Amino acid sequence: MTQTAWIVDDDREMAEAIGLMLKLLGWEHRIFLSGQAAGRALLQGPPPAVILLDLNMPVVPGDEFLKFVRSRRRWDAVRVFMLTSEFAETERERLLALGANGYLTKPVALDELEQALGEG
């Protein structure tokens, strides 16, 4: 059975590049260009196995969307990996404390994505 990952990133080109990597790794994927769109989809249908979530988005930042996902027990099994172009150890620790399963720095490398998806 193919697993599904959601990419939530306001940068369409980045989201599509990550989507191509997911396809190479045998994953189905959906792209959402805002936290609002992803939140509506999450409330309306089955959740994905993984969410790849941009930290810096307008209106609903990634950390706020992460809090939303972690506020519902029915989504406990969804693994969330934060995506950001700025790596800071304190930020990584903060996001892990909020419930993120991991942290990937943009541009995401195929081997790092494969490793993250293989965990869990």
Owning domain of residue 73: 4-118
What is the per-residue pLDDT across 51-64, written as a single tens digit (0 to 9) for each? 999 999 999 999 99
Residue 2: what pLDDT?
Answer: 75
pTM: 0.95
pLDDT bracket for residue 92 (50, 70, 90): confident
Output the pLDDT for position 54: 97
Model confidence at 88, pLDDT cuts 50, 70, 90, reads: confident
Residue 49 corresponds to which tokens in the numbers above? 């196995």
Q: Between vectors from CA 37 to CA 11 and to CA 14, what angle results, nearest 5°?
A: 15
User: What's the whole-number mean pLDDT along residues 9-30?
Assistant: 97
Beta bridge partners of 88: none
What's the number of CA atoms in the CB half-sphere (13 Å) around residue 84?
19
CATH number at residue 54: 3.40.50.2300
Residue 34, class by beta-carbon neighbours within 10 Å (0-12 exposed, 13-18 middle, 19+ buried)?
Answer: middle
* Crossing angle of the two packed helices 35-44 and 62-70, in degrees rounded to 10: 20
Give the model confidence (pLDDT) of 25-77 as tens digits.
Answer: 999 999 999 999 999 999 999 999 999 999 999 999 999 999 999 999 999 99
What is the domain count for the chain?
1
The encoded tokens of residue 89 equal: 């150890």
State the average pLDDT over residues 97-103: 95
d(CA 9, CA 19): 11
Beta strands in the chain (DSSP E): 4-8, 28-32, 50-54, 79-84, 102-105
